Structure formats: C-alpha cells, structure tokens
Structure 1
Amino acid sequence: MNDRSVGVEIDATAKWLEERDMVGAARLLRRVARQRDEAVRQLGLRPSSPGHEVGGDEYTAPRDLDAAAEAAMLRTDVARLQALAERAGWVPDPDAKRLWRWRDGWWELSYRRRNPKDGYHDTGWYLWGPPGSYDGEWTARAKTAAMAEANRLITDHRAATGEGDR
C-alpha cells in the first residue's frame, strides 16, 4: 500500500515495519502522520521551501497564534515519539537471533554462523545500518558485548555524519 498522503519517508518506514511483523507500529506511524498532515491542512500552513512536501516538518506563515501553537505542539509530539523509539534500545525481532534499534534510522544486529562464501568470516553478531553506515560489520561473539560494540559504532557513525548533534 503506497500511502502518498503521509509522505514517502513515513510510508517507507511503515512498510519496513510491516515486513518485520510490526503492524501496530506501522499503523501508529501512519495515523500520527495523517493527523499531522490534517492539522497542517486545517491551519492553512504551507511548506517552508519548494522541495518540502506536505509531510515535512517545517512550515511558514501560520495564520494566527493558535496555528503556531498547534504546529509547535505537533513538532514536539514527533520529537517525543523519536526520543521514545531511540530510548527503547535494542528490540528483539520475532526471529530470536536478530535485534532492531532506531537511532536516526533503523539498525539491525543479527547473529550469523561462519560462512566465508556469504561474507561471514566469523561466527557472531553483525551490524547493519542505514545506507552510508555499516553493512555487515562483525561486532562480537556474545550478544551483550555485541550490543555494547554496536552502540559504540552507531554513536561514532552519528558523530562523524553530524547526526549526533541533533
């Protein structure tokens, strides 16, 4: 289902959640995005730059103080939702050997057995991240050590790309 009314990025994230049997989270994400877009439409706000679509976060020319307050409240709600998702830490997948985490994008930590033909030269936990980050980086043999190492690698990546300052 391609729901253009909520924006391309939100729809892609919702599809990603559905593929991993997180249907409730996908519905919540789409519902919050629709509510935000409906509020923006009712307030008569428009995107602040020509490249922004309706699903963007920055708007200009609110008609009155109530509209500005509503827009600020929506931005706060979205920021709170992102903070809660990030604070949740590593969440297990229905597959017992896979963990997911949100930190400015989805990160996957999966257990793989040694198979040099597939690129897994050691048995243990491997980290995958959003495009431009990690793509199958070995972290550790044990789960606890792998989670700590993955958190360090994610923090280093965010600092290097400037995302850690947000």
Structure 2
Amino acid sequence: MNDHSVGVEVDATAKWLEERGLSGAARLLRRVARQRDDAVSQLGLRPGAGPAYPAAGTEHTAPRDLDAAAETAMLRTEVARLQALAERAGWVPDRNAKRMWRWRDGWWELGYHRRNPKAGYHDTGWYLWGPVGSYEGEYVDRRKGPALDDAERLIARYRAAIGEDRR
C-alpha cells in the first residue's frame, strides 16, 4: 500500500475488482477514498472524531471548522451515493459479454461457460458465484433471462438464511 492509505476494506475491494477486469471501478473507488483521506488530513481532523474536533495542536477557528464540516459531509455523501448507485444497479454486464456482476451484501458473478467437466462445468450455461460461504460456481440455467431470475431467487434465499443465522 502507498503512504496515502485508502483503508483495508477499500483496498481489498479494489484488488478484487481489478482481478475481475473492472479496473475502472477500482480506480474510482480508490480515488474517492483517497480524496476523503486527503480532506481529513488537510483539515487536521482526527479520523472518526467528526468535523467539530480538530486534531491536537491545531488552532480552532469557526470558519475553518464550518468549511471542514461541509467538505467532510460532501465527501461522505458522495461515497454513500456511489455505494447506493452500485447497489441499485442490479446486474451489470462486464466488458466480457458472457459475464454479469452485482453488488449487494457482497459481490456476485454470473458467468457463462461451455461444458467442460475437467474445469467443473458439467453443463453449458450460466453459473453463479457469490461471497464466501454462498454459491461457488453453481449451475443456474442455460439461457440468460431465466438464469438472472434464478440467480435473484438464490441470492434472496441465501440472504434470508444469513439473516436467520444472525438472530
């Protein structure tokens, strides 16, 4: 990692995106996180302390604090907006026409593969991968439309099971 840390979760997610050929999304995620970190650093705020508490040894001035609070609030709003757009997007096609991505409670991939038992593909069609402990290459359907519908059903079932386990 470089000296402008973007955070463990952001960096891990960005690396995951790059491994799957989504380098543009990874760059955007890192850039937004870096802007947030730079703003906090430039404003002399302690991370997590909020905009009303300048770091020790900095002079407390009302206009600067108001500007800092506005800048911090704007960056947090932009990050939240980016996350909400990614979650609402549903299935997003990859540049590879035989792959779809989705982000909601973890990354999901729906990929088309030809029959190849040696590689684990016993049928030609769409296979679903999800977060650890969910689906890892499960056959969904031969056609794209029904595969998307079945994937939504499987994801909903997985999320319901996880919700029940957490109670």
Give secondary structure in 1 for the equivalent of 2:96.
coil
**Any gaps of 5 or more consecutive residues in structure 2?**
54-64
CA displacement, residues 89-131 of structure 1 (integer Å, 9 cap, x when unaligned): 2222222211111113221101122333332232211100121
The CA distance in 1 between the partners of 2:134 and 2:12, in whole Å, is 18
**Aligned ranges for residues 39-58 of structure 1 at < 5 Å?**
39-41=39-41, 42-46=43-47
**1:126 and 2:127 aligned:** yes
More divergent stretch after superposition (135-144 vs 8-17): 8-17
- TM-score w.r.t. the length of structure 1 is 0.75
The CA distance in 2 between the partners of 1:39 and 1:127, in whole Å, is 39
- Give 2:137's aligned amino acid: G
Give secondary structure in 2 for the equivalent of 1:82.
helix
| Correspondent of 2:52 among 58, 63, 75 | 63
More divergent stretch after superposition (20-29 vs 95-104): 20-29
Give secondary structure in 1 for the equivalent of 2:5.
helix
The CA distance in 2 between the partners of 1:156 and 1:76, in whole Å, is 31
**Aligned ranges for residues 134-153 of structure 1 at < 5 Å?**
134-153=135-154
Give secondary structure in 1 for the equivalent of 2:157.
helix
Partner of 2:36: 36
The CA distance in 2 between the partners of 1:30 and 1:97, in whole Å, is 27
TM-aligned CA distance change 1:154 to 1:71, over 3 Å:
farther
Does the 8 A contact of 1:43 with 1:63 survive in 2? no
Task: Report how many aligned residue pairs link the two structures.
Answer: 149
Partner of 2:9: 9
Partner of 2:19: 19
TM-aligned CA distance change 1:77 to 1:130, over 3 Å:
same
- Give 2:113's aligned amino acid: R
Partner of 2:59: none
Moved over 6 A (4+): none
Deviation of 1:26 (Å): 1.8
The CA distance in 1 between the partners of 2:19 and 2:9, in whole Å, is 15
Does the 8 A contact of 1:43 with 1:62 survive in 2? no
TM-aligned CA distance change 1:112 to 1:89, over 3 Å:
same
**Any gaps of 5 or more consecutive residues in structure 1?**
47-58
**Identity percentage over the alignment?**
70
